[in-house]
Amino acid sequence: MKLFYYPGACSIIPHIALEELDAPYSAVMVDFNAGEQLSAEYRAINPLLQVPALACDEGTITQTPAILSYLALRYPDSGLIESSSPWQFAKMQSFHMFIATTIHILFRQISMPHEFVADESAQASLKARVPSMSNHYFQFIEDQLKAGGPWVHGDKFSASDIYLYAFASYLKIGDRGDLKRFEAISAHRQRVLARPAVKRVLLKETEAGGDIPMSLFN
Ligand SMILES: N[C@@H](CCC(=O)N[C@@H](CS)C(=O)NCC(=O)O)C(=O)O
């Protein structure tokens, strides 16, 4: 398998998952600073011009939740995603889709407001709405962790913990909500950061260059 990524982007989620699985893979950096995501070569890999993309024997998969599900079914004994129980599988999908379709898109209003509205004052209003909505959404996750931690789905680490770590780290940037109000999420983040696979990926992505967000680290 070949993972296309940019350092510190959401592609870090499947990157950590592959490392946790000890799966045979290589990681190829798509250099956003050099505009490589816009090249004809990359368009052939992912016409959406985004990372992550996972090239595997059957073809290329995009969309973080789908890549995680593919890995879960390909490595069913790993426990990274519970695929033997329809209920557990659906619970994990629900968590991943909540982040992908709600929190991720909300954060995009901060990082790419021009995609939503052209007018600069409208962009400022759009960005101003983000922190309160984001705090509202993260509160659901905080409550879930408090009710049944230490991991997102209880007593076992899973792909959902990697997803939460990445987005809690983006929240830590400070312009899109306030991580400090979420004790359980902050403690969870430290538990994920302590995992050897996470440390290895952070080192690899830092060494690759690019602008990895400092908020992904302690
Ligand atoms: N829905 C996609 C979103 C992927 C995405 O937004 N990737 C960002 C990095 S976090 C990207 O490639 N941004 C460059 C761009 O959109 O131009 C997923 O969940 O994988």
Q: Structural domains in the chain?
A: 2-79+198-216 (3.40.30.10), 86-195 (1.20.1050.10)
CB 52 within 8 A of CB 5: yes
Which pLDDT band holds residue 140 (cuts at 50, 70, 90)? Answer: very high
Residue type, 213: P
Task: Evaluate: CB of 52 within 6 angstroms of ligand 1.
Answer: yes
Task: Evaluate: CB of 10 within 6 angstroms of ligand 1.
Answer: yes
Q: What is the CA radius of gyration of the chain?
A: 17
CA atoms within 13 A on the CB side of 36: 13
* Protein residue whose Cα sits closest to atom 11 of ligand 1: 50
Alpha carbons 177 and 51: distance in angstroms, whole number:
24
* β-pair partners for 75: none
What confidence score (pLDDT) does residue 82 get?
A: 86
Alpha carbons 100 and 168: distance in angstroms, whole number:
13
Which atom of ligand 1 is closest in space to residue 63's alpha carbon? 20
* Protein residue whose Cα sits closest to atom 15 of ligand 1: 50
Which atom of ligand 1 is closest in space to residue 52's alpha carbon? 20
pLDDT at 193 over 90: yes
Residue 194 neighbours by CB distance under 10 Å: 9
What confidence score (pLDDT) does residue 55 get?
A: 98
Residue 95: its H or E element:
helix 86-98
List the alpha helices (DSSP H) in 99-158.
104-111, 120-148
Task: Evaluate: CB of 46 within 6 angstroms of ligand 1.
Answer: no
* Protein residue whose Cα sits closest to atom 13 of ligand 1: 50
3-class DSSP state of 74: helix
Task: Evaluate: CB of 81 within 6 angstroms of ligand 1.
Answer: no
pLDDT at 135 over 90: yes
CB 19 within 8 A of CB 32: no
pLDDT at 83 over 90: no
pLDDT at 27 over 90: yes
Which atom of ligand 1 is closest in space to residue 67's alpha carbon? 20
- What is the spatial order of strands in the sheet that 59-62 belongs to? 26-29, 2-5, 53-56, 59-62
Q: Measured in angstroms, how far is the CA atom of residue 63 from the centroid of ligand 1?
A: 8
What confidence score (pLDDT) does residue 81 get?
A: 85
> Mean per-residue pLDDT for 17-38?
97
> Mean per-residue pLDDT for 193-203?
98
